[in-house]
Structure 1
Amino acid sequence: MSELSYLEKLLNGVDVQWKTIGEVTLRTSNIKWREATRSYRYVDLTSVDIETKKITETIEVTVNNAPSRAQKLIEENDVIFATTRPTQQRFCLIDGKFSDEVASTGFCVLRAKQDEVLPKWILHWISTSYFKSHVEENQSGSAYPAISDAKVKECSIPVPCPENPEKSLAIQSEIIRILDNFSEFTTELIAELTTELTMRKKQYSYYRDQLLSFKEGEVEWKTLGEIAKIQRGASPRPIAQYMTEADDGIPWIKIGDTSPGSKYINGTAQKVNPDGAKKSRILSPGDFVISNSMSYGRPYILSITGAIHDGWASISDFSERLDSDYLYHYLSSQRVKNYWGSKINSGSVSNLNADIIKTLPVPLPDIQKQKWIATLLDKFDTLTSSISEGIPREIELRQKQYEYYRDLLFSFPKPKTASN
């Protein structure tokens, strides 16, 4: 798709006028609950799925139980846009199923003047980077950012060939057709890739569990406490007193320093001074940490020397008996997750403490076989988990490709006087 030729042929030199969204939409009304004689399906903010742009679940409300925010009447072909946390892009087109129902005041209802713009013209426009920029510039609040309906409607929207409404709607319809087809193709492709990714994850889990299963007597088994040092982290108190930005500071490893999908901790956001380090637990590259409370049991390998707080348990001093990559895959296996779960859910403890970790049975094939198993599992792990390789990266690229062409089809020349 050429950046210049397609729009030039489609528009064939016609004028494009930029109007505000408010100029091309109709006023809407709120429900008068005192006059209501029936129940309504209530479209709350969480009713609209951010990814699919569809209404998923609603509840029936009446004058007796309607939430105070259940106010805005909606009709078929309305576009509703969530004005609370608006950069999440929670919006959808109302279909006949939800016509004449009620929506939250957290939505801005955009009802197209259909002799000027098509409802889907507005729908596609508010998904563009241009509209997102307008929202970012006009939202307010930090904890719960929001944008007013008035500010949403101040955003400019292109209207091709406004002096000839029939031709204008024909142009809009053609661009919408292209975007719908491209969106459908992208959605189907992403669905296929997501299905493939799910299958690969299942395949990875299957082979991991198979490779880490051994017949009775095939390998030696030891508890983790017999072949490694298991310790709980330690935190100096009050921790703020020991924080430093000096060069002699020691990396302070917190739960938040982990990255989803990564098996390594490569750096930290904060450091503690030498006195704080003495009151902490110091680990070296190659040692393991495991969260003992929040998201308990997730293992990470350290790539740095650092101090860990008491939200972690550590595993160290195992190099003669265990390959670190093999241990990582074993600790990530369903067998171990089930083991941790059985201990945590027994009712006698509330977190994954060092004493429990010490009791974990570990199979010990020779080091060379451990490395062979770990190499195979690393390949599966890379395919399924890496953001820069494999299927997740492909999904990301396809989504960005769609967004690029969507913005391209809306890249009408804009007069200098027009702004969002």
Structure 2
Amino acid sequence: MMKPNFIEKLLDAVEVEWRTMEDVAVKISSGGTPRTGVSEYYDGEIPWLRTQEVNFGEIWDTGVKITDLGLKNSSAKMIPANCVIVAMYGATVGKVGINKIPLSTNQACANIQLDDKIANYRYVFHYLSSKYEHIKSLGSGSQTNINAQIVKNYPIPIPPLKVQEEIVRILDTFSELTAELTAELTAELTARKKQYTYYRDKLLTFDEGKIVWKMLGEIGEFVRGNGLQKSDFAESGIGCIHYGQIYTYYGNFAYQTKSFVSPTLATKLKKAQKGDLIIATTSENIEDVCKPLVWLGEDEVCVSGETYVFKHNQSPKYLAYYLQTPMFFDYKKQNRTGTKVIRVHGDKLEKFKIPLPSLTEQERIVSILDKIDAVTSSITEGLSREIELRKKQYEHYRNMLLSFPKSEVEA
């Protein structure tokens, strides 16, 4: 591992000149978009880069290809390999990439072709990557877009090329090691989740003739949530759960809420009691829709629209685990409505058949799955934390290597 004194020695007495990106570039350009709807302009052989494909890495291919005719009849233009590309619009604004093949881009990409006698392109890539938050903050408008002039005027410290190359060597090595470790940890995480899913589905698979199967509507009642908006949240009061939070905040079970509403509003809202399932019935994808959340808190909790509260007399955790199996996934896939916004209505949920062993057997299955779930969650948290630490370690050394005394041009 690098030590600070090594970095200090590397940068000791190094002369650094602060220049703008335009000063160190042969050319900075943006691209264009061939007119959509003209079939002759698309599905060709020319790679055409969009900003959503710029994500702090090397770019070896693009999702969309255009034709020679599309290139000639638009502002799109070819750029050589090893340009540093900065996303200027949209969700990826400020992100940086390097094209490893000649390609064209849309107008939302700032394409920086570096003067290799002044600046190493990978040095510039690492430096601009380290300034992502600052570059993004220079934007304006609802999407905080930046423009080519901001990129051209952006200041960059330029040490001698030999120093740039050594910084690149160190950061590339560190980046590769971080990427390899992250890939290994991610693969381990994926394997653990698959293992958990395998045992869960195995425990919840029953032969049709050896157990009682009943529709959910036969063992409980679906109560539709109502009225609650995120704008209704209060600092304190009665606990509440908005359907969107079921996807973004909660796991499978909850004992307390993240949000609250006033006691006055609470009187008008539908509520879940301990042991009820709160099922989110609207999502943008089939995987998430109908995610169940078991409410295990002692106090009743208010729920929003786009949810159903399922009141029943079975083991709540058993039901929640079963509603995560491939059997339920196939059912909701067949009974969904909508495309962009996907819903499963209560009358369909009522007809879903579920195997019902005795309550004692349900609790036995739950106890096993709870243990597997706890181990999987612990491993997931540990691996995720390790991945994040490795990324922060890389960023720490990158910032140390790229920290130079500031100049007037940077200010």
The question of a shared fold, defined as TM-score above 0.5 by the shorter chain, is answered with: yes
Q: Deviations over 1:165-197 (max 9, x none)?
A: xxx212211111111111112112222222222
Find 1:311's aligned residue among 290, 306, 314. 306
What is the alpha-carbon distance in structure 2 between the residues aligned to residue 80 and residue 191 of structure 1? 25
Find 2:245's aligned residue among 252, 257, 278. 257
Q: Deviations over 1:190-245 (max 9, x none)?
A: 22222222222222221111011124555443332233222222338xx79x9474
Describe the shift of the 1:58–1:361 C-alpha distance in structure 2 as closer, same or farther (beyond 3 A).
closer
Find 2:219's aligned residue among 227, 239, 249. 227
Aligned residue runs from structure 1 range 241-280, under 5 A:
243=232, 245=234, 250-258=238-246, 259=248, 262-264=251-253, 266-267=256-257, 269=259, 271=261, 274=264, 276-280=265-269
Aligned residue runs from structure 1 range 194-209, under 5 A:
194-209=186-201
Q: CA deviation at 1:381?
A: 3.6
**Structure 1 gap ranges (5+):** 34-38, 161-167
**Contact kept in structure 2, 1:48 and 1:91, CA below 8 Å:** no
Correspondence for 1:43? 48
Aligned partner of 1:393: which letter? R
Correspondence for 2:136? 136
Q: CA deviation at 1:66?
A: 6.2
Report the secondary structure of 1:415's partner residue.
Answer: coil
Q: CA deviation at 1:106?
A: 1.0
What is the alpha-carbon distance in structure 1 between the residues aligned to residue 273 and residue 117 of structure 2? 69
Correspondence for 1:163? none
Report the secondary structure of 2:129's partner residue.
Answer: coil
Q: Deviations over 1:38-81 (max 9, x none)?
A: x872523257252644243231233457674x434412221111
Report the secondary structure of 2:183's partner residue.
Answer: helix
Describe the shift of the 1:9–1:354 C-alpha distance in structure 2 as closer, same or farther (beyond 3 A).
same
Correspondence for 2:124? 122
Correspondence for 2:36? none
Q: Deviations over 1:316-341 (max 9, x none)?
A: 242xx31x222221111111111222
Describe the shift of the 1:352–1:244 C-alpha distance in structure 2 as closer, same or farther (beyond 3 A).
closer
What is the alpha-carbon distance in structure 1 between the residues aligned to residue 106 and residue 63 of structure 2? 14
What is the alpha-carbon distance in structure 2 between the residues aligned to residue 52 and residue 375 of structure 1? 44
Describe the shift of the 1:158–1:135 C-alpha distance in structure 2 as closer, same or farther (beyond 3 A).
same
Aligned partner of 2:261: which letter? K
Q: CA deviation at 1:392?
A: 2.8
RMSD: 3.4
Describe the shift of the 1:370–1:66 C-alpha distance in structure 2 as closer, same or farther (beyond 3 A).
farther
Find 1:76's aligned residue among 81, 86, 91. 81
Correspondence for 1:152? 151
Correspondence for 1:298? 291
Describe the shift of the 1:138–1:311 C-alpha distance in structure 2 as closer, same or farther (beyond 3 A).
same
Q: Deviations over 1:115-145 (max 9, x none)?
A: 11101111111111xx124313311112x22
Correspondence for 1:61? 67
Correspondence for 1:165? none
**Contact kept in structure 1, 2:178 and 2:391, CA below 8 Å:** yes
Correspondence for 2:168? 176
**Contact kept in structure 2, 1:48 and 1:90, CA below 8 Å:** no
Q: Deviations over 1:3-59 (max 9, x none)?
A: 5311222234222232222222223467899xxxxx872523257252644243231
Report the secondary structure of 2:117's partner residue.
Answer: coil
Aligned residue runs from structure 1 range 2-21, under 5 A:
2=2, 4-21=4-21
Correspondence for 2:110? 108
Aligned partner of 1:404: which letter? H
What is the alpha-carbon distance in structure 2 between the residues aligned to residue 387 and residue 140 of structure 1? 41
What is the alpha-carbon distance in structure 2 between the residues aligned to residue 410 and residue 30 of structure 1? 27
What is the alpha-carbon distance in structure 2 between the residues aligned to residue 106 and residue 201 of structure 1? 38
User: Normalising to structure 2: TM-score of the pair?
Assistant: 0.81
Describe the shift of the 1:51–1:312 C-alpha distance in structure 2 as closer, same or farther (beyond 3 A).
farther
Q: CA deviation at 1:289?
A: 1.3
**Contact kept in structure 2, 1:19 and 1:156, CA below 8 Å:** yes
**Contact kept in structure 2, 1:386 and 1:392, CA below 8 Å:** no
What is the alpha-carbon distance in structure 2 between the residues aligned to residue 192 and residue 277 of structure 1? 48
**Contact kept in structure 2, 1:87 and 1:135, CA below 8 Å:** no
Aligned partner of 2:113: which letter? R
**Contact kept in structure 1, 2:189 and 2:379, CA below 8 Å:** no
What is the alpha-carbon distance in structure 1 between the residues aligned to residue 51 and residue 410 of structure 2? 31
Describe the shift of the 1:217–1:71 C-alpha distance in structure 2 as closer, same or farther (beyond 3 A).
closer
Q: CA deviation at 1:288?
A: 1.3
Report the secondary structure of 1:214's partner residue.
Answer: coil
Q: Deviations over 1:241-300 (max 9, x none)?
A: x947486x54453222232672245435562653x5444322124321112232422111
Describe the shift of the 1:51–1:125 C-alpha distance in structure 2 as closer, same or farther (beyond 3 A).
closer
Range with bigger deviation, 8-17 or 214-223: 214-223
**Contact kept in structure 2, 1:233 and 1:311, CA below 8 Å:** yes
Q: Is the counterpart of residue 352 in structure 1 residue 357 in structure 2?
A: no
